[in-house]
Amino acid sequence: MARRTTTPPPPEDFEEKIVGIDVEEEMSNAFLEYSYSVIYSRALPDARDGLKPVQRRILYGANELGLRPDRGHVKSQRVVGEVMGKYHPHGDTAIYDALVRMAQPFTLRLPLIDGHGNFGSLDDGPAAARYTEARMASAALLMVGSLDEDTVDFVPNYDDTQYQPAVLPAAYPNLLVNGAAGIAVGMATNMAPHNLVEVIGAARHLITNPSCSLEDLMKFVPGPDLPCGGRIVGLDGIRDAYLTGRGSFRTRATVRIESVSPRRKGIVVTELPYLVGAEKVIEKVKDLVQAKKLQGIADLKDLSDRQNGLQLVIEVKNGFNPEAVLEQLYRLTPMEENFGINNVALVDGQPRTMGLKELLQVFVDFRTDVVRRRTAHRLAKREERLHLVEGLLVAILDIDEVIQLIRGSDDTATARARLIEVFELSEVQANYILELQLRRLTKFSLIELESEKADLERDIEQLRALLDSEKLLSRLVSTELAEVAKAHGTPRRTVLLEGTGAAASAGATPLEVADDPCRVLLSSTGLLARTASADPVPTEGGRSRHDAVVGSVATTARGEFGLITSAGRMVRLSALDLPTLPPTNGAPSLSGGAPLAAYVDLAKGEQPVTIVPVGELAPVVALGTAAGVVKRVTPDAPKGGEWDVIGLRPGDRVVGAAVADRADVDLVFITSDAQLLHFPAGGVRPQGRAAGGMAGVKLSPGATAVWFGVVDPAREAVVVTSSGTSAALPGTEAGALKVTPFTEYPPKGRATGGVRCHRFLKGEDTLVLAFAGNTPVRASAANGVAVPLPDADGRRDGSGVPGTAVIAAVAGVPADSSRDSPGGAGPLAADAPDADADGAGPATE
């Protein structure tokens, strides 16, 4: 059962007093008191050392624990407990969060804590304080240096049991170097980090020229220097912030556009804006792609590691302009962020908004006062020591009398009084002599004391000169700042770009690639690329590796073309997937092309032959096989990606293919036993894709066709042949190269043996390579060195130029990778001015 409770009556002498308080006034006073506490004791940094109270107490506590950079780390929890128990009674979480921030190299430009363990990242928080370890960084020593020389005032802690510095004697402008961020009541601060060398340069200039302008200071400090690098776009807002204390600028990620795969371009991000993590960007990009607000992104990979640092790879879909996709990323994702500068800091206990010059002036005045107080402290210490040394010298000169006087005294007080009276010493000197050890009373000690006295007198003279001269004092401050910059300075990381500072706008660059005319090229080494125009490939100009063109097709950027292989296959490919060659005045370089293997899977032994147009206007293509079969076919493709264009017999292969949509061009066979046959294309009727062709050239026993192509008899043409021996190792044939006018060879009927085109020398039994095409024909080695061809001579005049090891292709014949030149010059290759009209095929023996 519950008991009833009654309120006891008040005592007899109780007198009730009710005080009337205005609620509005009470709330105002309480809120102002709370606001002042937050502003002064928590949120805003001091303009002199650039530290908030919790940061200052962490550094002072670590210094008291002796956690210097040359000593081992200790558990972070120990530092947190020391600071919380003695100086900062606001909870261990707040202290540890501040300690972690002071150790993060991506947050501060010059970290003050050397952390060991997981101190977090821009995407993840740190481990608990019991798992991490910490000690002071080398920069922190500059903040607490000369703290024991009466350089700053000390104030009681929260319970008046300890003393702590009201400000640290910072040796560099920490507020500008590391920046600050804090939200108080009714105000906030947000300051960007800067480069130590630049800030100290500006401070030294201000010391030398107190009346300098902001433009003079900005020659030293052109803008912030963010810890993670990046780019700052637009400097107008920065100048406003340096002038008034308020402004803004835009930070962008550092990116480069490159080929991330043989088929795709990509955007590689190596630096992100200040305090933006990779996970934040990845998550935003995924959300925008799923919402269909961001187009052209095929994939996004985070390849960041400790060795290479940040590396986000954003693959761009084929058909989209990487520059336009990048503009979308800047506009829609955190890859471009705005940073608002609000330079609010405490000056004499009051919050003030200051520009660059005011911030530097506050630090310079404070540092000058620190050096002055340090100099006065050192002067007092040296004068005190000099006073003792002088008294000790008096005692040593009359040491016997001093000892006798002390032994004859009844007590210490009597001895002190007699020393003061007899030797005219001060009480301090007399006490020092009484406490002196006998081992100091030697002749050598006398020499040491005299030398020490001279040094002390010289130091005192210099210190007094410093205190008496503001100019010398300022020069010392400037010199010390220069030493700090030399010892701790690092190069600038952030790139400053002139601009409006406006956000990236949509539509500045077309998002999708336009369907402009282009030309697709196939090199003899199996590289594919496209040019920016559909003009014919020029033959003049320097040559480099992979420049022997074996196939050329005029199409559009979004068009298609077909690849014919030695297995009689036609594979449909898109020009949009190919890399674009940079424009050039001469012949294009295919070294920037993509390997064919990135687009087509070739079977073992299957080789590319050439490329041809496909589609509704596809021309008639002539094919020749090693067995001497010829076929004309219109490669009009079905809907599939690949199909057969000739029915090959077992063991046969296509050795050449070329456009032959005119009846007045000649089809040309060259066989391994040096027979050449050419006949009009009109004599070969077009067949269907499954047909096996008809007899083209009659082969001798054991011979094969090594080359097949198309030649326009109305234009000047030549025949190039190279002989060798089938018994020689690949690349060692001492063959002969011969160039003959095409008109030297009379036409023969189809399915005949043709005429002799090359006479073998002793030991030669086969043609290694062959070519027939319209001039001019230009040859080059794979290393870019031009290979001169011999002059054209008669068909029956000798066998050509002997002693030349011809290894690869002439006029666009694909290089045989199994053959290497003995001299290391690389394969020989050449191309004709119009590869659309000249055939090409793989070289065979």
Provide the b/e sequence for 160-194 (b: ≥16 CB within 10 Å). Answer: eeeebbebbbbbbbbbbbbbbbbebeebebbbbbb
- Tokens representing residue 340 in the block: 């608002």
Residue 649 CB neighbour total at 10 angstroms? 11
Annotation says 274 is catalytic: no
Provide the b/e sequence for 518-534 (b: ≥16 CB within 10 Å). Answer: bbbbbbbbbbbbbbbeb
> Smallest Cα–Cα separation from 195: which of 488, 477, 478, 476?
488
> Smallest Cα–Cα separation from 250: which of 545, 546, 504, 534?
504
Q: How far apart are the first and last CA of the chain?
A: 116
Position of tokens 């001299």?
823
| SS3 labels along 96-150 | HHHHHHHHCCCCCCCCCEEEECCCCCCCCCCCCCCCCEEEECHHHHHHHCCCCCC
d(CA 133, CA 344): 32
Residue 296: DSSP 8-state: S
Residue 265 burial (CB < 10 Å; 0-12/13-18/19+)?
buried
User: Which amino acid is it at 118?
Assistant: N
What pairing do the DSSP bridges indicate for beta strands 629-633 and 686-687?
A: parallel
Chain-centre distance of CA 807, in angstroms? 43
| Cα Dmax for the chain | 148
The three-state secondary structure class of 523 is: strand
Provide the b/e sequence for 675-689 (b: ≥16 CB within 10 Å). Answer: bbbbbbbeebeebeb
d(CA 189, CA 193): 13
d(CA 459, CA 381): 11
- Cα–Cα–Cα angle for 280, 282, 286, nearest 5°? 120
Whether 844 contacts 797, CB under 8 Å:
no
Sheet arrangement for strand 113-116: 74-75, 133-136, 113-116
Residue 537: DSSP 8-state: P
Residue 827 CB neighbour total at 10 angstroms? 26
> Smallest Cα–Cα separation from 737: which of 706, 766, 758?
758
- Tokens representing residue 141 in the block: 């020593």
Helices (H), 89-137: 92-103
Position of tokens 């002793």?
762
> Smallest Cα–Cα separation from 591: which of 542, 555, 557?
542
Helices (H), 424-520: 427-434, 443-468, 470-488
Residue among 34, 131, 158, 163 flagged as catalytic: 131
Q: How many residues does the chain have?
A: 845
d(CA 21, CA 415): 69
Give bridge partners of residue 622 from the DSSP assignment: 632, 658
List, by residue number, the catalytic residues.
131
